Amino acid sequence: MNFLKKYRHTWIIPVYGILYMMAFRYVEQRNVQPNIIHVKLDDYIPFCEYFIIPYLLWFFYVAATVIYFSFINKNKKEYWQLICTLGIGMTLFILVSLIYPNGQNLRPQLSGDSIFIQLVQSLYLVDTPTNILPSIHVFNSVACCIAIFRHKPFKKHKVFLGSVWILTVLIILATVFLKQHTVIDVVAAFALNLVCYQLLYRTRAVHAKEIVQA
């Protein structure tokens, strides 16, 4: 009971997670014609199966970040900033998928039997090339990166922060080099992150500064 009381602020994570997965499954299984997203720059980005490693590390990266800010970090404001950012982005992703069914046709014919190719083949089997705007891989990675870099106790750990930054960049690159997303999906994810940052981080900082100056 003490555990539930101490961490009652985390109840929203499993509840939202279940609702999100139900909504995601629905939009994935809808029988609708997707609007193909494509820009010329997508054609110049080569396929590279080795990016499957950072792409899969995304799951650990996001989970570890959420766990840290939920159960280890004592600053509840930072917790809610991260959780609300992730919630806004993932909810808007579902809404976009419902209103504007979308997809891409960039996936190549895979050949070879290396472990990397096999992992990409498995990814392609479980993840359809539809409902890609904006890229949740990119959005969540950037959101986690912002939360980590803004966390004061981490500021003295330069190697850790450098590793986080490199992993975030590699995950972003992986989305296009694995032909999972288009450049537009990546740009849209960055734009949405900028809006969330202004809403949940920047606005409060500016407001606090104005109060101090007054």
Given a contact cutoff of 8 angstroms between Cβ atoms, the answer to whether 168 and 137 are in contact is: no
What is the pTM (predicted TM-score) of this model?
A: 0.90
Q: What angle do CA 204, 208, 212 make, to 5 degrees?
A: 170
- Cα–Cα distance for residue pair 123/115, rounded to 1 Å: 12
Could you give the residue ranges of the DSSP H alpha helices within the chain?
A: 2-6, 12-29, 40-44, 52-67, 76-99, 115-126, 136-150, 158-177, 183-197, 203-213
| pLDDT tens for each residue of the chain, 214 residues long | 566 667 788 899 999 999 999 999 999 988 899 999 999 999 999 999 999 999 999 999 999 999 999 999 989 999 999 999 999 999 999 999 999 999 999 999 998 889 999 999 999 999 999 999 999 999 999 999 999 999 999 999 999 999 999 999 999 999 999 999 999 999 999 999 999 999 999 865 444 444 334 3
